[in-house]
Structure 1
Amino acid sequence: MARKRNPNGAGSIWQRKDGRFEARVYVPQPDGTRKRKTVYGTTWDECDTKRQELVLRDRQGVPTPTRSAKLSEWLPYWLEEFVRYDRKKTTYAKYETHVRRYLIPHIGSKRLETLGAADVRRMLSAVTSQSTAATAKESHRVLRSALTAACREELISRNVVMLVPAPRVQPREIQPWNLDQTTTFVEAARKDPLYAAFVLAVALGMRRGEILGLRWSDIDLDRRTLTVRNQLQRVQKELYTDTTKNRRTRIIPLPLVCVAPLRWQHLRQSAQRLAAGQSWQDSDYVFTTRTGRPVEPRNLNRSFERITDDAGLPRIRLHDARHGCATLLFAAGVPARVVMEILGHSQIAVTMNIYTHVSDDNRREAMGHMDRLLRRHRSK
């Protein structure tokens, strides 16, 4: 009795001259094309089982490469299919840079199945020499993520990057301003158009993008609350609004030191709206240009650096104001969990390990307590 023919697209099976059975099925490739895959079996049933597995993967949309793809083929495909629409634009831009500048030039010719731990180590050494250990560590993270996706797609059986430790990076020493220096900066910034933005950075530890993405609808000056729900970012020549870094909205009580600058900013913006007339672009952003457009993130940094230099203060990054805010809050006795919520961290370990610094005054006070304890014990 003749065997029933498979439907179109399900492949076909025949017996070879050597007695084995052979099946061929058109399957999707990682680059989106379709190619014919051949499988063999000593019996018709064995060959048909392999054929059915290929058909099932095809129906599920799982790529089945007819040959092991090169990293120069898989990495761009991974960026487009796995990263672009599932991650933030900033993440995609960062990953794309590492793929283009470091991964493809150093290991792009390697195939997924033949990439070894030695190849990864050589790549990391080359990237460290080309840039820094921190860059190599980030390339390690990007490659690990890409190969994890390849494992899930069953293109490879193991992720060799897991066998190679990432380069050790010496943490950058951060010296945030103390209370006197912070007060000096705030006083020096009073005449700057972005004065209120700097007060929010210092007093609330808000990120640059969160400050510039703030809208008047997010602020209730009567109840003294501020809701952080968006951030303004510029990535690859595009200025756009995105969710916060951890995609969470947080409500922060406004201290009095922030209320007056925000009221001043509202009056100032109203005057600018009248002066601009029809050229004004209404966006509801708290911080805008003279015509209502959003403020460029880099311009906020430039103003911060200019005020810092004019005030004769040590140069720090605008982002370091978050470190200073956390340190001041801890010095005031604010619990770690509360500091975490104010700064918008997803894990309290980040707050404790990175964003808090012990000042000399705190150290002296701690040692003063030690003196009093030991003297009291000695006098007994």
Structure 2
Amino acid sequence: MPRQSIGPRLVRRRGKPNYYVRYIEPETGRQKDVSTNTRDSEEAQEILEEFLRDRRLSRSSRALPPYRVKIAEVLDAHHARLSKTERGDRFLCSMQHILEFWKDACLDAITPDAVLDYETQNVRTDKKPGRARATVRRELSDLRAAVKAAAVNHKVHAIVFPKLPRDGAPRERWLRRDEFDQLFAEAANEYRSAEPLQLFLMIAYYTGARSGAIMGLRWSDIDFDRNVVDYRLPDRGEVTVDHKPRAITPMAPPLRAYLLQRYKAYETVPEFVFHQKLDHTRRVNSVVKGFRATVERCGFKDVTPHTLRHTRVTELRTMGMQPHQVDAFLAMTAETQNRVYTHADDDDLQAMAMRIA
């Protein structure tokens, strides 16, 4: 008659100073010893109790406690889910910065003090280099999303993620038409990215869409008969991506003419609007590097790809469009328009003053 298992217990192995936890693997039925890395009996007993507690949790659920799951594992799993989407490259960048700070730590190391230290060490100031506050906040938001996904998939018990750093103040920068014309003309001098950069500038300026939505466009998303650009995800018609609403945006005549000219120039129309010059099957995922270089040559300050979205909203409101019309054009609520995106030009304010007089 086989001897009944007495469960996990502490043992000493010949020639080894430390205690071991001995148990039977349920999957294989084999005996296994795991070192406690201590020769102190009281410490070893505490480790055994922790082992038993984790064992009970793992039997009731696949989820593990945060102190048993490494941050790197959670990030890897989340990146694997995002790697085939437009968010994959951006998340990988966040992941690299996060691991530089937390290294090989487990999820229980994500404390309010650690989040504050991450912000302090990485946010750019006048006295030290770094990254923009909004960028650091986005990295922590990516980490929070990865942890939440792990909990939803029962890989780890849910944790209360610390409060994220405050978001930066809305930028007041937007482009006048002559500034946009200068930026577009200067983009032609980019050695490698002139064509995709100018294409990006045209679409961003006239539709006001976010960079990620623009760079993910397929030619099938552009309907010349209906005269619209459909930013919703293909085949699913999702109007919200990453909690950001997507719109079906009408094309202004200059944009339609520009896109139609490029479309007709193809012998075989590629899938994606942004692609390599010599290999149309390879996507171009970003024009940020060329954008920054062009902005620097123009001598502009505080201009990013998102500035073009600020510009479009401001111009639509200046033209007299009502908030609900702007919302339909850009999928942007009136509250967001008023809080973040609309700016008053000095000339407009002077004209208003004259009308009052």
In the superposition, the TM-score normalised over structure 2's length comes to 0.62
Structure 1 residues 14 and 184: alpha-carbon distance in aligned structure 2, compared to 1, 3 A threshold: closer
- Name the counterpart of 1:77: 73
Answer whether contact 2:82 2:88 (CA < 8 A) is retained.
no
Give 1:361 deviation, angstroms: 2.6
1:79 to 1:300, Cα distance in 2 relative to 1, 3 A: closer
Q: Structure 2 CA distance, aligned partners of 1:151 and 1:220?
A: 41
Confirm or deny that 1:263 pairs with 2:260. yes
On the 8 A contact 1:213/1:285 being kept in 2, the answer is: yes
Shift of 1:226: 1.8
More relative contact order, 1 or 2 (CA 8 Å, 6+ apart): 2
In structure 2, do the counterparts of structure 1 residues 99 and 307 end up closer, same or farther at CA, with 3 Å as the change threshold?
closer
2:218 corresponds to 1:221: no
Q: How does 1:97-116 map to 2 (within 5 A)?
A: 97-104=96-103, 108=104
CA distance in 2, matches of 1:348, 1:306: 32
- Residue of structure 2 equivalent to 1:376: none
> What secondary structure sits across from 1:84 in the alignment?
helix
The answer on 1:360 being equivalent to 2:356 is no
User: Which residue is equivalent to 2:63?
Assistant: 62
Q: Matches of 1:54 and 1:260 in 2, distance apart?
A: 65
Q: Does 1:206 align with 2:209?
A: yes
Distance in 2 separating the partners of 1:224 and 1:98:
42
Aligned twin of 1:284:
271
Is the contact made by 2:249 and 2:329 (CA closer than 8 Å) also made in structure 1? yes
Q: Using the alignment, how far apart are the partners of 2:99 and 2:166 within structure 1?
A: 23
User: Runs of 5+ in structure 2 lacking a partner?
Assistant: 10-21, 35-51, 235-239
Shift of 1:204: 0.8
12 and 131 in structure 1: CA distance in 2 versus 1, 3 angstrom threshold: farther
- Return closer, same or farther for 1:55/1:337 CA change in 2, 3 Å cut-off: same
Whole-angstrom distance in 2 between the partners of 1:158 and 1:259: 49
Within a 5 Å distance, the mapping from 1:113-128 to structure 2 comes to 117-118=112-113, 121-122=116-117, 124-128=119-123
Distance 2:276 2:156 in 1: 51
Task: Give the partner amino acid of 2:62.
Answer: G
Deviates more, 1:170-179 or 1:148-157: 148-157
Counterpart for residue 177 of structure 2: 179
Kept after mapping to 1: 8 A contact 2:183/2:294: no
For 1:331, the equivalent position in structure 2 comes to 318
Q: Is the contact made by 1:103 and 1:143 (CA closer than 8 Å) also made in structure 2?
A: no
Other-structure match for 1:302: 290
In 1, the alpha carbon distance for the partners of 2:147 and 2:231 equals: 35
CA distance in 2, matches of 1:299, 1:114: 36
Sequence identity percentage: 18
Using the alignment, how far apart are the partners of 1:304 and 1:98 within structure 2? 21
| Gap regions ≥5 residues in structure 1 | 16-22, 29-33, 37-50, 232-242, 274-280, 373-380
1:190-201 alignment runs, 5 A limit:
193=195, 195-201=198-204
Largest Rg, 1 or 2: 1
TM-score normalised according to structure 1 size = 0.59
Calculate the aligned-residue CA RMSD, in Å.
5.1
| Structure 1 residues 86 and 62, CA gap change in structure 2 (3 angstroms) | farther
Pairing 1:252–2:249 present: yes
Q: Which amino acid aligns with 1:61?
A: R
Q: 1 CA distance for matches of 2:111 and 2:53?
A: 31
Does the 8 Å CA contact 1:229/1:249 hold for their aligned counterparts?
yes
- The 1:354–1:291 alpha-carbon spacing in structure 2 relative to 1, beyond 3 Å, is same
CA contact 1:124–1:167 (8 Å) conserved in 2? yes
Partner deviation per Cα, 1:57-108 (whole Å, 9 max, x = no partner) = 336322369xx43xxx52012223455326842453144223321122xxx5
Give the 5 Å matches for 1:31-42.
Answer: none
Give the counterpart letter for 2:91 in structure 1. Answer: Y
Q: Does 1:317 align with 2:304?
A: yes
**Conserved in 2, the CA contact under 8 Å of 1:137 and 1:166?**
yes
CA distance in 1, matches of 2:130, 2:89: 20
| Residues 340, 290 of structure 1: alpha-carbon distance in 2 compared, 3 angstrom cutoff | same
